[in-house]
Structure 1
Amino acid sequence: MTLKRILTIAAAFLGLILIFLWLANAFTEKLDTETRAQQAQSKPETVAVVAEPIRQQRAFSGSIQARQQASISARITARVAEVLVDAGDQVEAGDVLLRLENDDLSSRVRQQEQSLAAAQARVNEARLNFQRIEAVVSQGVLPEARLDEARAARDGAEADFIRARESLLEARTSESFSVILAPFSGVISRRAVFTGDTATPGMMLLSLYSPDSLRLEAGVSESVLANIQLGDKLAIALDALDTSLLGEVVEIEPAADSASRSFTIRLVPNSLDGLYQGMYGRVSVPAGEREVIHIPAAAITQIGQLHYAHVWHEQRLERRLVRLGERFQQQGENRVEVASGLQAGEEVRIHR
């Protein structure tokens, strides 16, 4: 190997060494890292991590239901002649909601009226005949048997009259079934028939409920049933409303559902504005106390799906991964439960 070739290899090797040193910042002036660390570690605004017993609440789902509601059904077979209301209409007790065709029913009423008039005439004749025969028999002109026959004819005519009167009452009652009246004041929640439809006995025509009787019905676990008493005021949350409500417990069913092992409770909200039957809601029920470690929500930083808190430890800030629990308010401040990552008494930085 020639001297020239050896010098070339040595120069290349030296060049590689210089490149590595440059990449490693060997030619850059060193900074005073100790001074920078001291300046960065001046104590910021911190708050203490608190551990205290907090009353627990469990939320149970339910729905708004009316205590006074009715499904109005047909009691006769007839064609729908007229529907006077629609869903959402406000009605008063006794208002006409719907009419069915009643020509045949009215005809039957007239027939029964004629039958009753004929029965009345026969009764009058039988009574007069009985009186005449009774007078003659008392004089000994006719035998007692004729009086018995007259009495039987009178009693039969009276029985026919009573039967005709009851038949007329039945016909009029059937005719009244053709006019559907509101049983109480409320709101029409559903209209199931239209003009020209055929109504049959038991067929649902309209549904009606009273807005003043709306309540929240919810199924609560038997584990918290002992924490609920009649008259208690519990918090109610409705997805359709932004405001929170209080509901008074007015009824607790004393039997559990065999499938869910839950008991149904009913609460009357302190305001019925904006409530409609069937709305979804949740009721918060006291569930005892437990020790909770919590900090202000402003002490939490989030990076991606991870949550961190900066802990003041040994005169420096230490970023620590935390696992959060429920969020709540305490004295108007948003706070968050820390399930792991912090200990009571430690200090965390507040982000303003």
Structure 2
Amino acid sequence: MKRTRIAIIVAAFLGLALIFVWLAGGFVSKLPTETVSAGTQAESIDSAEVIAARVPQFRNFSGSLQARQQSSISARITARVAEVLVDAGDIVQAGDILLRLESDDLSARVRQQEQSLAAAQARVNEARLNFQRTESVVQQGVLPEARLDEARAARDSAEAELNRAREALSEARTSEGFSVIMAPFDGVISRRAVFTGDTATPGMLLVSVYQPESLRLEAAVSESVLANVRIGDELTMNLDAFSDPFSARVVEIEPAADVASRSFIVRLAPNSTAAMYPGMYGKVAVPAGERDVLLVPAAAVLQVGQLYYVQVVTSSGSERRLVRLGEATRWQGRDYIEVVSGLRDGERVALRR
């Protein structure tokens, strides 16, 4: 039993050793270690110089796309949904009918108010005529002045009732208009929350619409680099849904910081909103000064397992050297990689063909 445990432990150590050797590239063919003479190397190997440069430094801040012009359309009356004319993704124009609610009772109320208005108008006409007759008789001295006051009061009361009937009719027509839901602006339907037969209640979401051209990337930018951002600046924006970066213009900076994160909301308008949708995740690169780095051409780096090597060209030949790399960058139109350690300024490295 003891021998078995010892055998298991030894096998485990051997397995770990094999893993470390594999990670170090022990099972991968390596660069040739033989030294090449300087004359032969100059003829057969392309080389480039390790460059010391000052490159812009950027900090990435995450955010999401939000439409600056969007609307969540809710019901203002209680009614059954009679017809839904749009689906999510449909393009609509301002004034297009999106859905209808049942309005039979609302239409009946409008007709009732129209009849009430007609009756009130008739009473006003009668009261005005009665006032004119009474006024004429009073002037002749046949009736006392009190009768004229009564006729005037009846006329004023009828006119007030007429105004009330007009307002009631206007209210009924407005309520009837709430049964027809129209698009408030040109845009795209982002959500359809109801279906035919549902019961809509006041405040209940019916549909949502947004304007694609108003999409903005809203990012929380740290106050430490806010001084490097100005309205109108062109920054680089990356979205997870796209492989290529976009150019975006800073259009708004909220002048108040979030107390918890000490960051400011910065909104950027991308140069194109094609195939972009609200809620997409993205990042924006904000300038954060410059820094001194050593750059080596990307074509000079060879990866072996988890390690990186370059072939350094010397006066006596070439030698393989292990390097530690930083971020990739594009400098003067070429692809370079930052070298953290392993090379010095002015050394030359071989380029892979």
Identify unmatched segments of 5+ residues in structure 2.
1-32
Name the residue aligned to 2:326.
Answer: 325
Name the residue aligned to 2:115.
Answer: 114
Q: Distance in 2 between the 1:39 and 1:330 partners?
A: 30
Identify unmatched segments of 5+ residues in structure 1.
1-35
Q: 1:166 is matched by which residue type in structure 2?
A: E
Name the residue aligned to 2:13.
Answer: none
Q: Distance in 2 between the 1:162 and 1:116 partners?
A: 9
Q: Distance in 1 between the 2:152 and 2:342 partners?
A: 105
TM-score by length of 2: 0.85
| CA drift at 1:173 | 0.6
Q: Identical aligned pairs, as a percentage?
A: 68
| CA drift at 1:238 | 2.2
Name the residue aligned to 1:195.
Answer: 196
Report SS of the residue matched to 1:195. Answer: coil
| CA drift at 1:316 | 4.6
Checking the alignment, whether the CA contact within 8 Å between 2:328 and 2:336 is kept in structure 1 is yes
Q: Distance in 2 between the 1:38 and 1:144 partners?
A: 131
Name the residue aligned to 1:89.
Answer: 90
Q: Distance in 2 between the 1:62 and 1:289 partners?
A: 24
Report SS of the residue matched to 1:298. Answer: helix
Q: 1:135 is matched by which residue type in structure 2?
A: S
Higher CA-based Rg: 1
How does 1:1-352 map onto structure 2 within 5 Å? Answer: 43=41, 44-312=45-313, 315-352=316-353
Q: 2:302 is matched by which residue type in structure 1?
A: T
Alpha-carbon distance change, 209 to 236 in structure 1, aligned in 2, over 3 angstroms: same
Report SS of the residue matched to 1:172. Answer: helix
Q: Deviations over 1:116-149 (max 9, x none)?
A: 1111111111111111111111111111111111
Report SS of the residue matched to 2:155. Answer: helix
Give the aligned length: 317
Name the residue aligned to 1:19.
Answer: none
Q: Deviations over 1:278-304 (max 9, x none)?
A: 222222211100111110112222121
Q: 1:188 is matched by which residue type in structure 2?
A: I
Alpha-carbon distance change, 91 to 45 in structure 1, aligned in 2, over 3 angstroms: closer
Runs (4+) of structure 1 exceeding 6 A deviation are none
Q: Distance in 2 between the 1:205 and 1:327 partners?
A: 49
Q: Distance in 2 between the 1:161 and 1:102 partners?
A: 26
Root-mean-square deviation (CA, aligned residues, Å) is 1.9
Q: 1:51 is matched by which residue type in structure 2?
A: A
TM-score by length of 1: 0.85
Q: Deviations over 1:184-207 (max 9, x none)?
A: 111111101000001111111000
Alpha-carbon distance change, 306 to 37 in structure 1, aligned in 2, over 3 angstroms: closer
| CA drift at 1:99 | 0.4
Q: Distance in 2 between the 1:266 and 1:162 partners?
A: 51
| CA drift at 1:313 | 5.1
